[in-house]
A and B are shown apart, each in its own frame.
Chain A
Amino acid sequence: EVQLVESGGGLVQPGRSLRLSCAASGFTFDDYAMHWVRQRPGKGLEWVSSITWESRNIAYADSVKARFTISRDNAKNSLYLQMNSLRPEDTAFYYCAKDPSGSSLGVFDYWGQGTLVTVSS
């Protein structure tokens, strides 16, 4: 059974940093691209970032480019999102999602339960 478990969320002040993690199990992690998707309070889903299986191709939404960094450790079956210079508008549930392809097709076939990031002073 595919499982994705996010962690690392919490309350952080504007301008500070936070690192999210996603622990994957139930599939061969290094065969697949991975993504982060977020949902702001009362809003819809928003793609944040993607990384291919070997980390060769990485993409970001314009809203987080130059502030967030996606990475993965295939030896640890883990996906990460380093979030710097956080803004109140980054407040959201952050979901880790698996792609059915190693090269980032852009479909999210399995999702975690999400971790809440709150940016507030």
Chain B
Amino acid sequence: EIVLTQSPGTLSLSLGESVTLSCRASQSVSSDYLAWYQHKPGQAPRLLIYGASRRATDIPDRFSGSGSGSDFTLTISRLEPEDFAVYYCQQYGSSRFTFGPGTKVDIK
């Protein structure tokens, strides 16, 4: 099973700031099959990025993903009020899909 580690665990940021979240895999993720999700309390999770860098439908371009192999990042430019949430990375390169523990982005 591929174990994903996300850092930091929590970030406190201000509106308009930019942030880079990290996701590291215990082994190389096949074909860069890495996705990012946003999850707010009481809501359905939302797919942001798949294939490490491809934005999902209707995702604004202030969200961008990069990386390959076992190191991936999600960058959020110019934080807006609706961006404060928990962000999860997830690998689908192996048949046992796994998520990272999440990074919480909250308002300073």
Contact = CB atoms under 8 A, between A and B. Distances in A.
Contacts of B56: 109
B46 to A, nearest CB: 7
A107 B37 CA distance: 10
B39 A45 contact: yes
Contacts of B45: 37, 45, 95, 97, 108, 111
A54 to B, nearest CB: 18
Interface stretch (B66-74, B77-85, B99-107): B99-107
Contacts of A107: 35, 47, 50, 92
Contact of A44 (B50, B92, B102): B102
A61 B96 contact: yes
Interface residues of A, number: 23
A46 interface: yes
Given A44-B101, A107-B50, A113-B43, A59 B95 contact: yes
Interface in B42-92: 42-47, 50, 56-57, 88, 90, 92
Given A44-B101, A44-B102, A113 B44 contact: yes
Interface of B: 33, 35, 37, 39, 42-47, 50, 56-57, 88, 90, 92, 95-102
Given A108-B37, A113-B44, 19 more contacts: A44-B100, A45-B102, A47-B90, A47-B96, A47-B97, A47-B98, A47-B99, A50-B97, A62-B96, A95-B45, A97-B45, A105-B92, A107-B47, A107-B92, A109-B50, A110-B47, A111-B45, A112-B44, A114-B44
